[in-house]
Amino acid sequence: MCNSPIQIVMTPVRNEAWVLRAFLTTTSLWADYIIVADQMSTDGSREIYKEFTKVIVIDNKNPEFNEAERQAMLVAKAREVAAGRDTLLWGLDADEIIAANAFETKDWQRIFNSKPGAVFWFNWAITSPDLKHYQVSSYSYPWCFHDDGKEPHGNYVRNMHSMRIPYPADEHDMTYVKDFYVHHLAWVNPYRVAAKRRFYTFIDWEMNHRSAIQLARSYTATPDSTPILPMKADMVYAKDKFDFDMWKLIDLSEKHCWMDAYVVEHMARHSTKELAALLIWDAAFIKEENLSDPRNLIQKIAHNYLSMTQQIKSSRIIKFCDKLFKRLL
């Protein structure tokens, strides 16, 4: 494949040591460069980078959360490193790992043989906490772009939930990859999932001023509706084939997440009355951060209602009730 495009992975990191070694070990098998935008990590992530020769670290010195700024930083550095060469740009988070059975598939060859402007969409294999099962995500995500060098495309400029790659919004050369999945490892740590839910709820409210009801409907976790499947052996980087065990490179002992610390720190900017409306006050969070629950009885009832009705949130009756509870919150 001497004429194949180079592969550059763009990854934002803020205290991801728990999964970082697994991500960098597996991704180094196929990527030419891994560009990490580190947002002032303090958990040992910066020490881990030094173990991997393909990693290029850039400093994201903004203490605030801003995906548009972060993604623009990553894309600019990737194009600098590419220096005009034929390039595949990948946008992967540290808890996303290309399945081990990807590299002999027809879709992997399609990616390599594509033309500039091509976009590739992927499904997660949402890994269960037991590491023995997974669910295929209900949605596909655009994470690989055969770079055409054009700028701006304008589709990765939102302050959160931005696109990770700079593909044109009217792009027609799109391929939905079906031959392999991307392991999503976030759910192997349920505590971290809960912290991320609180984090997104808080920052979306703080930055975009969405209502408490809208936020609850966006971020209250519900089980994926897709079937639970046994993990296939060839999807996993196992020692008999890769000389390392992917699962043993993941640290599941984490008991405190930087995202909770971020939320608590930023709470000082707001009144107790404002914060009480947000669906973030679960018992574990209150206890771990030594907080007092600011909610009144009506707010607690409203939050219980939101949590219990999440799976039927699209029904007309629930939408009507949401409007009533919006006034109470």
Q: What pLDDT score was predicted for residue 170?
A: 73
Q: What pLDDT score was predicted for residue 153?
A: 64
Query: What is the CATH architecture assignment of 6-187?
Result: Alpha-Beta Complex (3.90)
Which residue ranges make up each domain of the chain?
6-187, 189-224+256-328
Q: What pLDDT score was predicted for residue 108?
A: 97
Length in residues, the chain? 329
Phi-psi region of 209 (alpha: psi -120 to 50; beta: other; left: phi over 0): left
* Sign of the CA dihedral with 140 first, then 245, 94, and 115 last: negative
What is the reported pTM? 0.92
- Write down the residue that tokens 């990553």 correspond to: 74
Compute mean pLDDT per 10 residues along the chain, 329 residues long, and list them. 84 97 98 97 96 98 90 94 96 98 97 94 95 94 92 69 82 89 94 92 94 92 80 96 95 88 94 94 92 94 92 90 85
User: What residues are paired with 218 via a beta bridge?
Assistant: none
pLDDT tens digits for 275-303?
Answer: 999 999 999 999 999 999 999 999 999 99
Structure tokens belonging to residue 167: 């593909």
Structure tokens belonging to residue 13: 């990191």
Closest CA to 186 of 162, 221, 235: 221
Q: What pLDDT score was predicted for residue 1?
A: 46
Cα–Cα distance measured from residue 120 to residue 197, given in angstroms and rounded to the nearest whole number = 27
Closest CA to 35 of 27, 43, 163: 27
- List, in order, residues 6 or more apart from 55 with CB less than 8 Å away: 24, 34, 35, 36, 49
Q: What pLDDT score was predicted for residue 286?
A: 94
Output the DSSP codes for 93-152. -TTEEE-TT-TTSHHHHHHHT--TT-EEEEEEEEE-TTSSEEEEEEEEEEEEEE------
Cα–Cα distance measured from residue 202 to residue 278, given in angstroms and rounded to the nearest whole number = 7
Cα–Cα distance measured from residue 306 to residue 285, given in angstroms and rounded to the nearest whole number = 18
pLDDT tens digits for 171-218?
Answer: 678 999 999 999 999 999 888 999 999 999 999 999 999 999 999 999
